[in-house]
Amino acid sequence: MASEPIKMRLPASEDALRALRIGDEVLITGTVVTARDMAHKYMVEQRPESLRDILEGALIYHCGPIMVRDGEGWRIVSAGPTTSSREEPYQADVLENYRLGGVIGKGGMGEKTSAALKKCGAVYFHAVGGAGTLLAKRVKKVREVRMLEEFGVPEAFWVLEVEDFPVVVTMDSVGGSLHREVLEASAQKRKDLLGL
């Protein structure tokens, strides 16, 4: 267990990302872009080139924030992670196509994403689910939004500048997955409890 969180600035080098291991606590500073269900379907089916400028070297954040109009711009009110497993069919393709540093979400992802992280030298970071106010406070600026009209507030691409955004590495670039480890350990306990 890391005693002090690792500070990481985006875009991070592939070496820095490849050095991270499951269990590492990290504070992220830089650009993250929210993308959830509609966005992932769109990125895989349409493969829009127009998103390259915001995505390359950034992290995708599985999040549908609460935003309030603030003059010409937007104020972010609450912004915790959403369940990542719904993006499992799309994530590997998106990671490779847009050369992301990785993903922030919750609940972990499957083997296809794990293989893509290994190939791309990317990382899956886990934010604390339900910590909406705390995480919104680490967003220093709402830079822009795309596909707002088409997707609605929760599903749009919000381009956020974050500072010391707290996450835990739960899937790394050497095939490690904390989720797989906990699943396997708890599967044994389930068997014992059910006498199976």
Tokens 């349409």 sit at which residue? Answer: 46
What is the token pair recorded at 5?
């969180």
Peptide bond into 11 cis (omega under 30): yes
Kind and range of the H or E run holding 114: helix 111-120
Nearer to another protein, 3 or 50 (CB): 3
Binds another protein (CB under 8 A): choice among 18, 40, 138, 179: 179
Binds another protein (CB under 8 A): choice among 31, 104, 147, 155: 155
Residue 62 known to be catalytic: no
Q: Verify binding: residue 154, another protein, rule CB under 8 A.
A: yes
Residue 118: CA count within 13 A, CB half-sphere: 10
Q: Verify binding: residue 121, another protein, rule CB under 8 A.
A: no
Q: How far is CA 178 from CA 12, 22, 35, in A?
A: 22, 6, 23
How near is the Cβ of 130 to another protein at its closest, in Å? 4
Nearer to another protein, 13 or 130 (CB): 130
Q: Verify binding: residue 185, another protein, rule CB under 8 A.
A: yes
Binds another protein (CB under 8 A): choice among 21, 44, 66, 144: 66
% helix / strand / coil in the chain, to the nearest 5?
A: 35, 30, 30
C-alpha torsion sign, points 86, 101, 4, 62: negative
Residues annotated as catalytic are: 40
**Which residues contact another protein by CB under 8 A?**
1, 3, 23, 25, 38, 63-68, 75, 77-80, 82-83, 85, 106-108, 126, 128-137, 151-155, 166, 168, 170, 178-179, 181-183, 185-187, 189-190, 193-196
